Amino acid sequence: MFYCSVMAGVLVPLTRKNSGEEWPESLRPSDLRALGWTARPFTEFVVKVHSRCNLACDYCYLYELGDASWKDQPGRMSLSVAEAVGNRIAEQATRHGLVGVRMVLHGGEPLLAGEPHIRRLLELWTELITPVTRLSFSMQTNGLLLTDEMLDTLARFDVSIGVSLDGGITHNDRHRMHRNGAGSYQAVAERLHTWKQSVHWPLFAGILAVIDIENDPVETYEALCAFDPPKIDLMFPHANWHTPPPGVQQAGSAAPYAAWLIAVFDHWFDSPRDEPSIRLFDAIIRLLHGEPSSFESVGLAPVTLVVVQPDGSIEQVDTLKSSFDGAAETNASVFRESFDDVANNTSIAARQLGREGLSDACRRCAVVQTCGGGYYPHRYRPGSGFLNPSVYCADLLALITHVSERCGAT
Ligand code: SF4
């Protein structure tokens, strides 16, 4: 039985369709609305300005895992789609009186769209959205096309730039490769070094690195620190109960990612120097101290992020594509539906329910306020869908317990 406590703290049983459908398809939005649940407005819009990539990383959830929908997408987002996106965001901001929204330029590799097109997109969105709300831009890129001209344009619109890099040359080049199999580290490092000499270095938001437990944790961390990132995002590789994490034979049978992360945490926590923010650790520490965190990978905050593809189709968080073909689809388009229409999608609702949208095991867990069941795509198991603990459950429990002990939060 699934319960929802959205009304005055009273546990109210929710009806679930007895259709054999995987969670959250078995959850009826009408039940939620009848109980007083309303969708939170989206405030973060991940916009896929280009659907292809100039690297061929072997762990990529878009091109190498369960989903092949990118093949149906145009290469880059056209100006007519971009205009519809901007109008929909302005509509959302106006309807909900949002004080600010964030657009994340994403791909594939967003910079493949080219400087003139990126400039036109940024101009268009600024023109359409800033009359109604504050607009901030960020971008996630592999860094290969960060030319001086591109940086000039991104600086004009104050786009904060995150770069994907997995460590030093040996760490990074295990997975982040060019199409011919050659490692990408050298080219990215050169771009970063050139950028660092320029006036545009303050746009550097940090590094996103996917964990490989074959790499030494402290060496990997120190290699990333060599670029002076203000922030480091250490990401679990995409996995679920059907596709176990790399290095784990059977999902749930071992927790090697905790040991890796704890080694980095202790090194970072005990360091006498000024260390970069590590998003996962900072979020856990905040949550342990009862402070809010908007980081989607831990905690119980409702997800208010949505994705728009180059053809204008609206999707959920696109890392869901690591689960199964079509997992992120909503069947909505900026040309037909508003973002409010999409917010009432069952799958979106499930990610805005907090503790009430978790599996029984998570609901009973001692660290649920901090963990929040882990990153939603990592909960997938064929048959029960997303109503499971994270496939990284044991790792999260060990890491949170360790951080709690080190911070004196227990
Ligand atoms: S540690 Fe495991 S059981 Fe506990 S909330 Fe996280 S995923 Fe759920």
Query: Tens digit of pLDDT for each residue in 22-70?
Result: 888 877 766 676 656 688 999 999 999 999 999 999 988 654 555 556 5
Index of the ligand 1 atom closest to the CA of residue 392: 7
- Residues found in the chain: 410
The answer to whether 389 and 361 have CB atoms below 8 angstroms apart is yes
pLDDT reading at 11 higher than 60: no
Atom of ligand 1 nearest to the CA of 362: 8
Half-sphere exposure for 53 (CA within 13 Å, toward CB): 23
Instruction: Indicate which residue's Cα is closest to atom 3 of ligand 1.
Output: 362
Say how many Å lie between the CA of residue 395 and the centre of ligand 1: 9
pLDDT at 6: 32
- Residue 34 Cα, ligand 1 centroid: separation in angstroms? 29
The number of the ligand 1 atom at minimal distance from the alpha carbon of 390 is 7
| Rounded Cα distance, 183 and 84, in Å | 38
CA 137 centroid distance within chain: 16
Ligand 1, atom nearest to 371 Cα:
6
pLDDT tens track for 210-261: 999 999 999 999 999 999 999 999 999 999 999 999 999 999 889 999 999 9
Q: Quote the ligand 1 centre to 362 CA distance (angstroms).
A: 5
Give the number of the atom of ligand 1 that is nearest the alpha carbon of residue 389: 7
Per-residue pLDDT tens for 98-111?
A: 999 999 999 999 99
Nearest protein CA to atom 2 of ligand 1, as residue: 393
- Checking if the pLDDT of 387 tops 90, the result is yes
In this model, does residue 385 exceed pLDDT 50?
yes
Centre of ligand 1 from the C-alpha of residue 372, in Å: 7
User: pTM (2 decimals)?
Assistant: 0.90
Determine the distance separating the centroid of ligand 1 and the alpha carbon of 318, expressed in angstroms: 22
- For ligand 1, residues with CB inside 6 Å are 361-362, 365, 367-368, 371, 373-374, 389-390, 393, 396-397
Which pLDDT score is estimated for 4? 34
Q: Please identify, by atom number, the ligand 1 atom nearest to the C-alpha of residue 393.
A: 2
370 Cα–ligand 1 center, Å: 9
The closest residue, in CA terms, to atom 6 on ligand 1 is 373
Task: Tell me the pLDDT tens digit for each residue of 116-129.
Answer: 999 999 999 999 99
Which of 370, 390, 400 maximizes ligand 1 atoms within 8 Å of its Cβ, making it the mutation to test the pocket? 390
Q: Which atom of ligand 1 is nearest to the CA of 365?
A: 4
381 CA from centroid of ligand 1 (Å): 15
Distance 282 CA to ligand 1 centre (A): 18
Distance in Å, CA 364 to ligand 1 centroid: 9
Report which ligand 1 atom has the smallest distance to the Cα of 400: 1
Quote the ligand 1 centre to 388 CA distance (angstroms): 9
Confidence of residue 346 (pLDDT cuts 50, 70, 90): confident
Which residue would you say has higher pLDDT here, 74 or 291? Answer: 291
Query: 160-164 and 277-278 as β-strands: parallel, antiparallel, unpaired?
Result: unpaired
